[in-house]
């Protein structure tokens, strides 16, 4: 259930695992495979398919003062399309992802290239240390950064005191999105770096040698060999970072206790859906918001993937 899990290709595996698929071994009963796949699929149906169907169903109803729970057709969706709070929240996560995702993936790529170049002292230490924040739960990461951001006893306060500075509170309304972006970047730079690094490592080194013989410098090797070779890893990392941004919840939800004036209950679409159902008891509308966000996320992920793959073929 976590966005952070390293998730597989969305379309590639159908191709890549085709060989074992295409030549299945002869077997006794043709249904035997279900004995192994069945348990997964039963639970899967219960926790993946059923909630989706149930929320589609819910989104078509509304609890009304008069008449109780009534079928309202697409009225919830119509309401959502005119809902300023939802679109403002969506605008906020879009702004977030347009800035945070490139910064995070950029840093991850630079570190991966540096480690892969073999020019670092102690490269294994770099690899492990930069990855380490991935093991830190979002809750702890947010609490730590939240404390450090604090103008009371945080590092910001320390620096202000020490150097007579007047750094504004990162938790102030104008800065809080940036503050959250930093927390997310901190958590996932290492993870993305490792994905890029794993992709870089399988490039045949004979390519580099050939390029050197042709007089290509390091920079040429990076732009002409390394980057094209890890394109699919970059597409995947981008897709999952985008999904993560649209789903932004943990960090703002936890920071809310520290910065109640900066983070409203509709700060992100997910936070909005959460407060609709748990503070407002508007379950039908919350289900509608969740569905709309799911569809938007899948559309964006699909477009990114399509673009990434098309350029692959060129």
Partner 1 sequence: MTITATDSRTHRTSARRRPARTSMLKSTRFSSVTRPRRSALLTALTSIALIYSLLPLVWLVLNATKPQAELFTSFGLWFSDSFHLIENIAATLSYDDGIYTRWLLNTILYVVAGAGGATLLAVAGGYGLAKFNFPGRRAVFAVVIGAAAVPGTALAVPTFLMFSQLELTNTPWSVIIPSLISPFALYLMWVFAAEAVPTELMEAARMDGASEFRIFWQIAAPLLAPGTVTVALFTTVATWNNYFLPLIMLRDSSWYPLTLGLNAWNSQASTAGGEAVFDLVITGSLLMILPLIAVFLLLQRFWQAGLSAGSVKE
> For partner 1, which is the closer residue by CB, 88 or 123?
123
Q: What is the DSSP letter of 61?
A: E
> For partner 1, which is the closer residue by CB, 201 or 307?
201
Structure tokens belonging to residue 299: 């559309």
Least Å distance, CB 311 to partner 1, is 15
- State the Cα angle at 2 between 43 and 140, rounded to 5°: 135
> For partner 1, which is the closer residue by CB, 177 or 276?
276
301 burial class (0-12, 13-18, 19+ CB within 10 angstroms)?
Answer: middle
Instruction: List Cβ<8 Å contacts ≥24 apart for 178-184.
Output: 179/145, 179/149, 179/255, 180/96, 180/248, 180/251, 180/252, 180/255, 181/96, 181/99, 181/100, 181/103, 182/145, 183/141, 183/142, 183/145, 183/251, 184/100, 184/104, 184/244, 184/245, 184/248, 184/251
Least Å distance, CB 177 to partner 1, is 19
Least Å distance, CB 145 to partner 1, is 6
Residues in CB range of 271: below 8 A, 6 or more apart: 89, 248, 249, 252, 253, 263, 265
Least Å distance, CB 67 to partner 1, is 21
- State the Cα angle at 71 between 68 and 76, rounded to 5°: 100
Structure tokens belonging to residue 78: 């119509």
Least Å distance, CB 100 to partner 1, is 15
> For partner 1, which is the closer residue by CB, 30 or 310?
30
Least Å distance, CB 309 to partner 1, is 12
> For partner 1, which is the closer residue by CB, 209 or 311?
209
Give the H or E element holding residue 62.
strand 61-64
Least Å distance, CB 240 to partner 1, is 10
Beta-bridged to residue 206, according to DSSP, are none
Least Å distance, CB 274 to partner 1, is 7
Find out whether 170 and 88 touch, Cβ atoms under 8 Å: no
> For partner 1, which is the closer residue by CB, 47 or 74?
47
Least Å distance, CB 83 to partner 1, is 16
Structure tokens belonging to residue 290: 């969740």
> For partner 1, which is the closer residue by CB, 14 or 74?
14
> For partner 1, which is the closer residue by CB, 72 or 243?
243
Structure tokens belonging to residue 193: 């770096």
> For partner 1, which is the closer residue by CB, 119 or 166?
119
Distance CA 187, CA 183 (A): 6
Question: Dihedral sign, CA of 186, 191, 192, 193?
Answer: positive
């Amino acid at each position: 259930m976590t966005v952070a899990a390293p998730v597989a290709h969305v379309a590639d595996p159908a191709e890549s695992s085709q060989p074992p698929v295409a030549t299945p071994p002869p077997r006794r009963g043709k249904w035997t495979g279900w004995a192994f796949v069945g348990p997964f699929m039963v639970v899967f149906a219960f926790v993946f398919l059923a909630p989706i169907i149930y929320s589609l169903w819910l989104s078509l109803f509304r609890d009304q003062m008069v008449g109780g729970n009534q079928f309202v057709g697409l009225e919830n969706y119509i309401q959502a399309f005119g809902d300023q709070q939802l679109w403002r929240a969506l605008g906020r996560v879009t702004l977030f992802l347009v800035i945070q995702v490139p910064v995070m993936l950029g840093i991850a790529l630079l570190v991966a290239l540096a480690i892969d170049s073999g020019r670092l002292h102690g490269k294994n230490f770099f690899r492990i240390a930069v990855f380490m924040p991935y093991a830190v739960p979002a809750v702890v990461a947010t609490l730590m950064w939240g404390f450090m951001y604090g103008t009371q006893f945080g590092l910001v306060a320390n620096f202000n005191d020490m150097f007579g500075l007047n750094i504004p509170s990162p938790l102030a309304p104008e800065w809080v999105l940036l503050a959250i972006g930093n927390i997310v970047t901190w958590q996932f730079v290492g993870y993305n770096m490792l994905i890029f690094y794993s992709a870089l490592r399988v490039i045949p080194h004979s390519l580099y040698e050939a390029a050197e013989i042709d007089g290509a410098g390091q920079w040429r090797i990076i732009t002409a060999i390394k980057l094209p070779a890890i394109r699919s890893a970059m597409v995947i990392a981008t897709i999952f970072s985008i999904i993560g941004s649209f789903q932004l919840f943990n960090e703002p939800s936890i920071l809310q206790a520290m910065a109640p004036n900066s983070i409203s209950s509709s700060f992100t679409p997910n936070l909005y859906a959460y407060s609709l159902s748990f503070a407002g008891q508007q379950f039908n509308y919350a289900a509608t918001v969740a569905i709309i966000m799911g569809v938007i996320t899948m559309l964006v992920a699909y477009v990114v993937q399509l673009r990434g793959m098309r350029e692959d073929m060129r």
